[in-house]
Amino acid sequence: MAVETKYPGVYIREIKSQFSTVASGATAVPVFALNTANAPLIKKTTRIADWLSFTKAAVAATEEFEFDAENVLHLSMKTYFDNGGGYCYLTPTDRLQDDVPALDDVTMLVAAGQDIKGDVVILCQSGNTLFAVLDAPDEALTDKSSDLTDGLDTNSFAAAYYPWLEASWAETEIPPSAAVAGMICSVDRQIGAWKAPANVVLSGGLTPKYKVSDDEQGQYMNGKAVNMIRDFGRGPTIWGARTLDAVPGGEWTYVPVRRLFNAVEKDVKRAVAFSLFEPNTQPTWERVRSAISNYLYALWRQGGLFGDRPEQAYFVQIGKGVTMTDDDITNGRMIVKIGLAAIRPAEYIILQFTQDMVTV
């Protein structure tokens, strides 16, 4: 639109920028697996903003709400919000595979005491940017033949936690996944998805059902690792941040690494959608490269990537002869290569002491 000029002077015209940006989306939005036995009248996916919202949803379904200290869903929701959980979704277990893919903002699948291992295999895999928070079996470690990983598939898009929790206000055990999910939300808000949700104390008057020793935890550190919740005198503490694919030195051993990549993939995928059906030429490539680079630079400035300089923390490559061939361009493929230097948690602190012998 032309600027109408009426007098000598400087006129300002605002135009739409030719450069696109990548906005950071929410990194911790869970969907809780809902057993209809615990909430028989909530039969569809429901968005829950807070504890009050949960009680209203229950009222809408049953015309009344009374906290049930034996209801696993009630216990899970209370524990989740007590530990800093934000808005979430409740989805019946038989609707997970149909409903969850349509929830664009969801980033976590939380077991909440339910057996969802089959759904995890299907939903939590490469390209879906969904991370599962699972409950390890509710059993003591007194039997040396017991294995907390029985039935858990090796999967870098999932983490399991042990033991289950107890509280004076609960008349049955509380699944650890609910409390951990709430704490993940809290840590993400305060710092970011790159911070391990570990060495943080759970709130809400919780105690671990079983005590875990160093040796017992050591049995579950590699392979299909299980993260422990332990009490060192300051309250129940999440003491581990490994995925169920914790290969020593592996790419996806740590929860924050997997979740950070999930978040970046989700944000970038959403942001570059503008380039669909645009000319597959240099101007479009530069817009895409610039948008992603600016996003990653901001992530690095926040402390989310490793490196003293941006070029050490990430790279973005796109172009003919760089990421694409003539055949790619002819067939409508625009290929972007992105590399990230992820931050890994300091899991082992090794103190080296020496004693100098002074002779007189």
What is the number of residues in the chain?
360
If 0-12 CB within 10 Å is exposed, 13-18 middle and 19+ buried, where does residue 36 land?
middle
pLDDT in tens, 239-276: 999 999 998 888 999 999 999 999 999 999 888 888 88
pLDDT in tens, 274-319: 888 999 999 999 999 999 999 999 999 999 999 999 999 999 999 9
pLDDT of residue 14: 43
R_g of the chain computed on alpha carbons: 24
267 neighbors 232 (Cβ within 8 angstroms): no
pLDDT in tens, 318-342: 999 999 999 999 999 999 999 999 9
pLDDT of residue 358: 65
pLDDT of residue 359: 60
Which phi and psi angles does 244 have, rounded to 5°? -80, 20
Q: Identify the band that residue 141 occupies on the pLDDT scale cut at 50, 70 and 90.
A: confident
Percent of the chain predicted with pLDDT > 90: 69
pLDDT of residue 12: 47
pLDDT of residue 61: 74
Torsion of CA 245, 250, 252, 253, to 10 degrees: 60
pLDDT of residue 19: 46
pLDDT of residue 256: 96
pLDDT of residue 356: 67
pLDDT of residue 184: 97
- Is pLDDT of 4 > 90? no
For the record, the structure tokens of 13 come out as 């015209």
pLDDT in tens, 89-134: 999 998 999 999 999 999 999 999 998 988 998 999 888 899 999 9
> Apex CA 120: angle with CA 31 and CA 157, to 5°?
90
**Per-position DSSP letters for 57-95, written without gaps between them:** HHHHHHS-----TT-HHHHHHHHHHHTT--SEEEEEGGG
Domains and CATH numbers, the chain: 30-257 (3.40.50), 276-360 (no CATH)
pLDDT of residue 44: 87
215 neighbors 248 (Cβ within 8 angstroms): no
Q: List residues bridging with 158 in a β-sheet.
A: 132
Is the model more confident about 27 or about 353? 27
pLDDT of residue 43: 79
283 neighbors 264 (Cβ within 8 angstroms): no
For residues 199-210, average pLDDT = 97
Percent of the chain predicted with pLDDT > 70: 88
- Distance of alpha carbon 240 from the chain centroid: 15
pLDDT of residue 150: 84
SS3 325: coil
CA dist 247 and 156 (Å) reads 10
CA dist 9 and 19 (Å) reads 29
pLDDT of residue 60: 78
pLDDT of residue 273: 87
247 neighbors 222 (Cβ within 8 angstroms): yes
Which phi and psi angles does 14 have, rounded to 5°? -90, 130
For the record, the structure tokens of 64 come out as 């009344």
- Is pLDDT of 22 > 60? no
Nearest to 286, CA basis, from 18, 14, 16, 15: 18
pLDDT in tens, 43-80: 789 999 999 999 988 887 776 788 999 999 999 999 99
SS3 254: strand
